Amino acid sequence: EQDSRGGDEPPPTPPHPSDSTHPTNIHVQCRLVGHSRAITSIFFNMLEDQLVTTSIDKSVRFWCIESSEMLKVFTDSSPVPVAQFLPCNPQVFVAANSNAVLRLVNVANGMVLQKLKVETEVRALKFDDSGMFLLAGTKSGSIHVLECSENSMLKFKFKVQLARGGVTCIHYVPARDGQPPCLLVNTSDSNATIIDMTYGPPPGVLTNLAVRHRVRVAHSLLPLKCTYSPSGQGYLISGSEDKEVYIFALGRGQNYKMQWLKHHTVPVVAVAVNLQDTLLASADSLGHIVMWRRMDYSHLPD
């Protein structure tokens, strides 16, 4: 049923039944019951023994993966679209609420360490690989850059107005192949944007965000996500509201050549690749998850 169009490479194929990722070998380990409204984001802690979820029900919850026990609940005054741990201090997380407030919270005691008011609701958060700069994407289409200080406080640096539509995802890509580090950003004006990041002067300080290129992705309503495949010279992979998984080549001279994968019958909301870059997962608005496997493994070392 799965096919790929718009490119010369063979399509990913469903995993073989003997593969541990085959649907017959995937089962529900546990169910985490506690939220009363939709879950808006989900991520692991640094040790990957706990899961953290944010929700429309105005809470951030911590769960034990092994036992499925709910360990902690942090409540807010309004819905929480997204949260992230501070890389410089994994005992602190930053959470955004729908009142356009960013809160820094101590995981151990629940103390609110800092509150920051921004111009409009933040719907995407991502740190760069230094862990010192936080990118906050808003529903008005801007990206705020905040610096994490030595005492784990956030300080506003600058902002860039990116699009007319809201930012729904920010994915960080480290520098490689002579290209600077960049951000892959979904916005609800039917664009996915590659943004180059400039550091310095002084060295190590993020000083500018500049649009390298925009590609068209059907997107006006849903909180679509994108991801990055390091295969070859790199690919931007995005969900879309026209039911397809979009893949854009990012290498020099490839002119953002597009391929797409078709299988879903409803909008594709989220995509992810594994660390080995051999599996791609796509999830749609009905809750179906499709696993796509690479056919070409030549990019991997022997």
Work out the average pLDDT over 95-105: 98
> 120 and 95, same structural domain?
yes
Q: Does a structural domain hold residue 247? A: yes
> 251 and 225, same structural domain?
yes
> 154 and 60, same structural domain?
yes
Work out the average pLDDT over 217-222: 98
Q: What is the pLDDT of residue 68?
A: 93
- The closest alpha carbon to 125, from 211, 60, 50, 72, belongs to 60
> 54 and 136, same structural domain?
yes
> 188 and 290, same structural domain?
yes
Q: By percentage, how much of the chain surpasses pLDDT 90?
A: 83
Domain boundary among 127, 161, 195: 161
Q: What is the pLDDT of residue 17?
A: 43
Cα distances from 60 to residues 47, 203, 266, 283, in angstroms, run: 18, 36, 29, 23
Q: What is the pLDDT of residue 150?
A: 83
> 124 and 207, same structural domain?
no
Q: Given pLDDT bands bounded at 50, 70 and 90, which one contains residue 12?
A: low
Domain coverage including residue 111: 37-161
Q: What is the pLDDT of residue 10?
A: 41
219: domain CATH number?
A: 2.130.10.10
Q: Is the pLDDT of residue 301 over 90?
A: no
Q: Does a structural domain hold residue 23? A: no
> 182 and 292, same structural domain?
yes
Q: Is the pLDDT of residue 140 over 90?
A: yes
Q: Does a structural domain hold residue 17? A: no
CA atoms within a 13 Å half-sphere pointing along the CA-CB vector of 96: 24
Q: Given pLDDT bands bounded at 50, 70 and 90, which one contains residue 300?
A: low
Q: What is the pLDDT of residue 138?
A: 98
Work out the average pLDDT over 173-200: 97
- The closest alpha carbon to 42, from 244, 221, 246, 272, belongs to 272
Number of domains in the chain: 2
Comparing 152 with 170, the larger pLDDT belongs to 170
Is residue 220 a contact partner of residue 147, using CB atoms and an 8 Å limit?
no
Domain boundary among 161, 183, 207: 161
pTM of the model: 0.89
Q: What is the pLDDT of residue 8?
A: 43
Q: Given pLDDT bands bounded at 50, 70 and 90, which one contains residue 11?
A: very low
Domain boundary among 101, 132, 161: 161
Q: Is the pLDDT of residue 275 over 50?
A: yes
> 237 and 267, same structural domain?
yes
Q: Which residue has the tokens 């919850």?
A: 61
Comparing 8 with 26, the larger pLDDT belongs to 26
The overall average pLDDT reported for the chain is: 91
Burial of 252 (0-12, 13-18, 19+ CB in 10 A): exposed
